[in-house]
Chain A
């Protein structure tokens, strides 16, 4: 509706400006279309802004009005009870067959409905009025010497700035929301108990001392063991050797086909890996464990999750190593070959050491990726928090526990739910540090060879 008005404004303004142009007495400063944009902007933006504010404010206005209506006289004074009746009334107003509800809600429903409709009308009318007013104001300003172009461009520039600020707001939003919920958690559980406690069993929480069963060390260990040890033992050798082979040995054709193939490994959704890990890899690992003489081997072993995660990470390591190797000047390679070194000697003694900072940064990013990976461990790792060095035993991770804690039926501010946010905050800070260090190393490394 408002967009339509904007279009009309755009067309009239352009026509009007064009008429000035044909009048020919004075040259227009800006093109007719730019006047059009100017008017369109004035027609659309103010009502949109108004509607945004209105939709935020009107619910409380509706609430006020309904509470003051005579039908609301019988409402309880308790906020909780009152709100529940109002919510039912609202549901009935939207859909008359929405169930039985209590009689008071039935009674209130028409009032709620009517009030809502009224305020909706007021909002729309005001918006349209604003659109007309804005449009008229803008059209009245169209003159040959009017600098429509710079006005439009200044607004557009503001839009660009706001768009780029969203990244900061998101980061800030993440930090504030995690921090806020975590502080609430740390009011109930001392931070030291959470960070250094070695017992984790959120299923049984002693209300008097919730921290006793919320010690996160087993989770940190499991995360580190699966993500940074097992997964990396798979990803680093395979990723690095793949990159070496594809950049130094493979023919152009092989490289053209195999590089996208390996990249496909990164494109497979993690839920697919998780399903694969749980359905195929984990039973195989368990069979192996039984063969090795452990009849009680877990079917949710750290090894199964870590292996599959490692495969998922291969392309990350490989593409970072690929980039780093490509950044080493050809002169290095030629210098080594001219000394009579074989290709493998050149790679392992000159190229890889020269590319090492880039490779290390890639591994750091890969670790950050692995410890933040969720679905594979949710589906294939165990929920039992144990500290073990045996990859055939079960281990759990931070991400798995976050999902488990938040998908249960718990109150929003129980220590259980809030613990998930504290875990999230820890994860966020660790990955953030890893990323910052890695990005800095990469930047330094790039500068070294530029």
Chain B
């Protein structure tokens, strides 16, 4: 593994393994995530890329049988350390899921959820400002500004996913994890999401899991290829797709398996 950047990384994983009971789903993976960059995890389904992504904000804690070894740091602090507060961690490292999962509340309440629980808004007008700003950043404001009190579940699939992104950025995270955010959407909605990722890049460190190689090539600056729980290859996206070093990477991106 070559060192990619001399600057301190936003998040770093060193020798991370994940076990589900006796089964090892992720094997000794080391990776760095930086601000202003989109990092894509690609690989065939079941390769452990989603599982690995969930270790970045400790979502694996919710699965009783899951066990994580190795070290993951956020701004140099170990996120699995005892003094790391998981609630704050998740506020700083947001997540967007594969299937849009807006809460069965109004659009406004969906976005206001995070600021409310974390006490980020000083006043009602402040909260309204946060909601508006988040919806604007997620590119949804124009479509929903007149019906903020409608249920979030009444939106279309693509809108729902952008609502979930707005919900995630409403708490001002530093890192956004996206777990196949467009796989349940149609091509037009997918294009919108990709466009959005472009716009968000300057503000957040973004990690996106995808099984769509074109998508990875379009949106990311770095790509990591996973296979059977191992990190096979990790590098600049352009290099990885044009001149893969590993045979397995080549087989995968040329469609030999997947």
In the complex, is A directly touching B at CB under 8 Å?
yes
Q: Does the CB pair A335–B117 fall under 8 Å?
A: no
Question: Which residues from A are CB-within-8-Å of B171?
Answer: 339-340
Q: CB of B252 within 8 A of chain A?
A: no
Q: CB of A159 within 8 A of chain B?
A: no
Q: Does the CB pair A340–B113 fall under 8 Å?
A: no
Selected from B87, B89, B101, B118, the residue in CB contact (under 8 A) with A335 is B101
Q: Does the CB pair A331–B87 fall under 8 Å?
A: no
Bound-state CA distance A336–B101 (Å) is 9
Q: Does the CB pair A354–B62 fall under 8 Å?
A: no
Bound-state CA distance A329–B167 (Å) is 18
Interface residues of B in 62-101 (CB under 8 A from A): 62, 64, 86-91, 94-95, 97, 99, 101
Closest to A328 in B: B104
Bound-state CA distance A67–B103 (Å) is 80
Q: Does the CB pair B97–A334 fall under 8 Å?
A: yes
Q: CB of A256 within 8 A of chain B?
A: no
Selected from A251, A332, A339, A342, the residue in CB contact (under 8 A) with B168 is A339
Q: Does the CB pair B104–A354 fall under 8 Å?
A: yes
Interface residues of A in 253-273 (CB under 8 A from B): none
CB distance from B89 to the nearest CB of A (A): 7
Q: CB of A160 within 8 A of chain B?
A: no
Q: Does the CB pair A339–B167 fall under 8 Å?
A: yes
Bound-state CA distance A338–B113 (Å) is 12
Q: CB of B211 within 8 A of chain A?
A: no
Q: CB of A433 within 8 A of chain B?
A: no
Bound-state CA distance A332–B102 (Å) is 7
Q: Does the CB pair B101–A332 fall under 8 Å?
A: yes
Bound-state CA distance A97–B57 (Å) is 90
Q: CB of A341 within 8 A of chain B?
A: yes
Q: Does the CB pair A340–B91 fall under 8 Å?
A: yes
Q: CB of B193 within 8 A of chain A?
A: no
Closest to A351 in B: B103
CB distance from A275 to the nearest CB of B (A): 42
Selected from A335, A341, A350, A353, the residue in CB contact (under 8 A) with B97 is A335
Q: CB of B192 within 8 A of chain A?
A: no
User: Given A332-B103, A354-B104, does the pair A340, B59 have CB atoms closer than 8 Å?
Assistant: no
Dominant SS at the A interface?
helix
Closest to A449 in B: B104
Question: Which residues from A are CB-within-8-Å of B105?
Answer: 353
Q: CB of B164 within 8 A of chain A?
A: yes
CB distance from A244 to the nearest CB of B (A): 16
Q: Does the CB pair A345–B117 fall under 8 Å?
A: yes
Interface residues of B in 110-131 (CB under 8 A from A): 113-114, 117-118
Tally inter-chain residue pairs, CB-CB below 8 A.
Answer: 66
User: Given A339-B91, A340-B88, does the pair A331, B99 have CB atoms closer than 8 Å?
Assistant: yes
Bound-state CA distance A336–B46 (Å) is 25
Interface residues of B in 163-185 (CB under 8 A from A): 164, 167-168, 171
Q: CB of A436 within 8 A of chain B?
A: no
CB distance from B102 to the nearest CB of A (A): 8
Q: CB of A252 within 8 A of chain B?
A: yes
Interface size on B, residues (CB 8 A): 27
Question: Which residues from A are CB-within-8-Å of B89?
Answer: 340
Question: Which residues from B are CB-within-8-Å of A353?
Answer: 103-105
Closest to A343 in B: B62
User: Given A350-B103, A353-B105, does the pair A337, B94 have CB atoms closer than 8 Å?
Assistant: no
Question: Which residues from A are CB-within-8-Å of B97?
Answer: 331, 334-335, 338
Closest to A251 in B: B64
Question: Which residues from A are CB-within-8-Å of B118?
Answer: 340
Interface size on A, residues (CB 8 A): 20
Q: Does the CB pair A340–B62 fall under 8 Å?
A: no
Q: CB of A349 within 8 A of chain B?
A: yes
Selected from A329, A334, A339, A350, the residue in CB contact (under 8 A) with B62 is A334
- The residue in A339, A341, A354 that gathers the most chain B C-beta atoms within 10 A of its C-beta is A339
Question: Which residues from B are CB-within-8-Å of A338?
Answer: 57, 59, 90, 94-95, 97, 168
Q: Does the CB pair B104–A340 fall under 8 Å?
A: no
CB distance from B149 to the nearest CB of A (A): 15
- The residue in A252, A335, A336, A341 that gathers the most chain B C-beta atoms within 10 A of its C-beta is A335
User: Given A339-B117, A340-B117, does the pair A334, B90 have CB atoms closer than 8 Å?
Assistant: no
CB distance from A382 to the nearest CB of B (A): 45
Bound-state CA distance A329–B164 (Å) is 16
Selected from B64, B99, B104, B113, the residue in CB contact (under 8 A) with A339 is B113
Question: Which residues from A are CB-within-8-Å of B87?
Answer: 340-342
CB distance from B21 to the nearest CB of A (A): 13
Q: Does the CB pair A354–B117 fall under 8 Å?
A: no
CB distance from A251 to the nearest CB of B (A): 8
Interface residues of B in 33-61 (CB under 8 A from A): 57, 59
Closest to A345 in B: B117
Bound-state CA distance A336–B90 (Å) is 10
CB distance from B237 to the nearest CB of A (A): 26
Closest to B164 in A: A335
Q: Does the CB pair B101–A339 fall under 8 Å?
A: no
Question: Which residues from B are CB-within-8-Å of A333?
Answer: 62
Bound-state CA distance A26–B105 (Å) is 72
- The residue in B57, B95, B103, B114 that gathers the most chain A C-beta atoms within 10 A of its C-beta is B103
Q: Does the CB pair B113–A337 fall under 8 Å?
A: no
CB distance from A444 to the nearest CB of B (A): 13
Bound-state CA distance A334–B167 (Å) is 13
Question: Which residues from B are CB-within-8-Å of A337?
Answer: 59, 62, 90
Q: Does the CB pair A349–B117 fall under 8 Å?
A: yes
Q: Does the CB pair A336–B113 fall under 8 Å?
A: yes
Instruction: Map CB proximity to A onto B187-203 as digits: 1 under 8 Å, 0 otherwise.
Output: 00000000000000000
Q: Does the CB pair A339–B59 fall under 8 Å?
A: no
CB distance from B70 to the nearest CB of A (A): 21
- Return 14 A-B CB contacts under 8 Å, by A number: A252-B64, A334-B97, A334-B101, A335-B102, A335-B164, A337-B59, A337-B62, A338-B94, A338-B168, A339-B117, A339-B168, A340-B114, A340-B171, A341-B117
Apart from A339-B94, A342-B117, A353-B104, what are 14 other A-B pairs with CB-CB below 8 Å? A331-B99, A332-B104, A333-B62, A335-B103, A337-B59, A337-B62, A338-B168, A339-B90, A339-B114, A340-B89, A341-B117, A342-B87, A349-B113, A353-B105
The 6 closest A-B pairs by CB, nearest first: A340-B91, A340-B90, A331-B101, A338-B95, A335-B101, A339-B114
